[in-house]
């Protein structure tokens, strides 16, 4: 026992200060692929190697519509390797959680040359790319909301609806001394009846559909749902097939989407804190309705 105490004192505090401070990211970490649509001369090689169809093309006459869906992207980096013009670069950005699924989709329209390469960029719609949330402010507000509205604690029920367990490993890391999610007053619980938030991973296998629905229905209102990873958002590498439904929102209403394969712990924390804001708004709304009644 003395040796353990001695080692603890010697080691000191190891908990990261994210989101109050920027996350320390390895140089080798693969985050969001960034697209320079002006520079991109041909999207076909990237679309051909994309394992989930996150980059898709639709050619019509002399024009091409390119769609990039971060909800399908597994951040593999193959699109960057296939683009010889360097128009696709892998970044270390991971704070992509959003309340709007459509914000994870980019589209670009090109005029084509006879050989199918891009002649000119006609139009581009940047619906995503950078989080529109100040993460430091998000963390501070989350603490305030948890303390004020939930009496010092937020309970999460996590459900694996058919994942490969990659996301589960990152979720487990939220409870370790490095990330320590309980410093926000957030804890994981075993019963959905005690939960305020439902955290779901996996493409929702058909065998897990009923169990997921029962878990959601057992939770008291108000409640929020967070879809974790490419599988939870869109089905990811599994897609929609005879065994999987292709994403959580095919079964439940989703409040926050957290892209990644798997999302790193800080990305999960970012999404959870965003969902806390949704829950606070819902609680405020219910309070206002009750006061009027």
135-149 and 265-292 helices, crossing angle to 10°: 50
Q: Which of 93, 89, 96, 41 is nearest to 72 (CA)?
A: 96
28 occurs within a structural domain: no
Q: Are 200 and 248 in contact (CB under 8 A)?
A: yes
13 occurs within a structural domain: no
Same domain, 121 and 178: no
- Looking at the structure of the chain, the number of domains it has is 2
DSSP 3-state percent helix, strand, coil across the chain (nearest 5): 35, 20, 45
Report d(CA 167, CA 133) in Å as an integer.
Answer: 23
β-sheet bridge partners, residue 107: 67, 125
Same domain, 211 and 165: yes
Q: Residue 103's domain spans which residues?
A: 33-125
Q: Are 76 and 15 in contact (CB under 8 A)?
A: no
Phi-psi region at 12: left, alpha or beta (left = phi > 0; alpha = psi -120 to 50): left
Q: Are 66 and 57 in contact (CB under 8 A)?
A: yes
> What pLDDT is attached to residue 126?
73
Same domain, 85 and 199: no
Same domain, 153 and 280: yes
Scanning the structure block, which residue is given the tokens 């309970």? Answer: 155
Same domain, 174 and 83: no
Same domain, 181 and 60: no
Report d(CA 50, CA 55) in Å as an integer.
Answer: 7
Scanning the structure block, which residue is given the tokens 């999404």? Answer: 271
**Local confidence pLDDT in tens for the 293 residues of the chain:** 778 777 777 767 788 888 888 888 899 999 999 999 999 999 999 999 999 999 999 999 899 999 999 999 999 999 999 999 999 999 999 999 999 999 999 999 999 999 999 999 999 987 544 444 555 565 566 566 665 655 657 899 999 999 999 999 999 999 999 999 998 889 999 999 999 999 999 999 999 999 999 999 999 988 999 999 999 999 999 999 999 999 999 999 999 999 999 999 999 999 998 898 888 777 666 555 454 55
CB count in 10 Å sphere of residue 9: 8
25 occurs within a structural domain: no
Which 3 state secondary structure label does DSSP give 11?
helix
48 occurs within a structural domain: yes
Of 125, 149, 167, the residue at which a domain comes to its end is: 125
Same domain, 64 and 185: no
Question: pTM of the full predicted structure?
Answer: 0.89
Of 125, 152, 187, the residue at which a domain comes to its end is: 125
> Which CATH number belongs to the domain containing residue 234 in this structure?
3.40.50.12280
21 occurs within a structural domain: no
Same domain, 115 and 207: no
Same domain, 47 and 103: yes
17 occurs within a structural domain: no
20 occurs within a structural domain: no
C-alpha distances (whole Å) from 211 to each of 65, 69, 205, 229, 292 are 39, 29, 10, 20, 37
8 occurs within a structural domain: no
Q: Which of 170, 192, 201, 158 is nearest to 269 (CA)?
A: 170
Same domain, 148 and 287: yes
Same domain, 242 and 217: yes
């Amino acid at each position: 026992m003395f040796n353990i105490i001695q080692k603890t004192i010697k080691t000191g505090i190891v908990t990261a200060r994210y989101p109050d401070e920027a996350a320390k990211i390895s140089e080798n970490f693969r985050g969001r692929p960034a697209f320079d649509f002006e520079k991109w001369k041909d999207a076909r090689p990237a679309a051909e190697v994309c394992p989930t169809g996150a980059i898709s093309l639709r050619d019509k006459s002399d024009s091409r519509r390119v769609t990039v869906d971060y909800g399908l992207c597994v951040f593999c980096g193959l699109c960057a390797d296939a683009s010889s013009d360097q128009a696709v670069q892998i970044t270390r950005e991971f704070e992509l959680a959003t309340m709007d699924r459509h914000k994870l989709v980019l589209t670009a329209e090109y005029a084509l040359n006879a050989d199918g390469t891009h002649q000119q960029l006609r139009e581009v719609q940047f619906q995503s790319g950078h989080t529109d949330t100040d993460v430091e402010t998000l963390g501070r507000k989350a603490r305030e909301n948890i303390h004020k509205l939930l009496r010092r604690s937020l309970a999460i029920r996590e459900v694996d609806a058919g994942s490969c367990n990659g996301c589960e490993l990152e979720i487990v890391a939220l409870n370790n001394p490095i990330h320590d999610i309980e410093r926000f007053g957030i804890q994981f619980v075993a019963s959905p009846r005690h939960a305020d938030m439902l955290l779901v991973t996996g493409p929702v296998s058909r065998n897990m559909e009923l169990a997921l629905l029962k878990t959601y229905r057992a939770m008291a209102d108000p409640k929020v749902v967070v879809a974790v990873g490419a599988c939870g958002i869109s089905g990811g590498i599994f897609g929609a097939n005879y065994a999987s439904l292709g994403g959580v929102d095919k079964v439940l209403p989703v409040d926050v989407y957290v892209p990644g394969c798997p999302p790193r712990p800080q990305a999960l924390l970012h999404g959870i804190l965003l969902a806390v804001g949704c829950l606070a708004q819902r609680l405020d709304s219910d309070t206002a309705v009750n006061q009027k009644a």
